[in-house]
Amino acid sequence: MKTFFLASMLSLWTTFSCVSAQASNADDGADLRLLNRIDYSPLLTTSGQPTKADLALVAAAGYRRVVFLAFTNHPKAVAHEDLIVRELGLQFIHIPVEWESPKLSDFNTFAALMQTQGSDRALVHCEVNFRASVFGFLYQVLYEGADVDAAMSLMHSIWVPDDAWEAFIARVMTDNGVDYQPL
């Protein structure tokens, strides 16, 4: 009986040691090279289209969710990205946002999804991080209490939204009770 107990304890210790080592060795993602990457917070990163190899690095860095905001027919889209992401053990969500006419319902779907993430890290991406950076900016300001100017500065580090996207930002902000004056 003592031998069985000791063997069981050793097995448990080995299991927990391996899990602990994996957790402590998890990459924080600082070296992750993603197109036009913006880290809005420790839980929210936006970028352009990651490669298949990048997706494996995203998983290794501790992200638990990938949100794709473009259509699958763009030139740099990763074929079967949804399957690749799921095989890596991550959640994959696709919210196709039309470039020329983003909709309030697109952002509301995104915000509702993000509010369910708890402490899970999320990578939100599109083709070049234009759609994703706007959604990231809006979410951080409206739901995480980020300073508008600080979040705007992050977004502007990769692009300044055109008239259609500025109007979209203003519409989402106004709909959420924030007085926002487009640039």
- pTM, entire model: 0.83
| Residues 88-102: tens digit of each pLDDT | 999 999 999 999 999
Phi, psi of 40 (to 5 degrees): -70, -30
Residue 28: is its pLDDT beyond 70? no
- List the domains of the chain with CATH numbers: 30-175 (3.90.190.10)
Residue range 11-22: average pLDDT? 32
What's the confidence (pLDDT) of residue 30?
Answer: 67
Query: Of 181, 105, 115, 109, whose CA–CA distance to 144 is shortest?
Result: 115
CB 32 within 8 A of CB 46: no
CB 22 within 8 A of CB 52: no
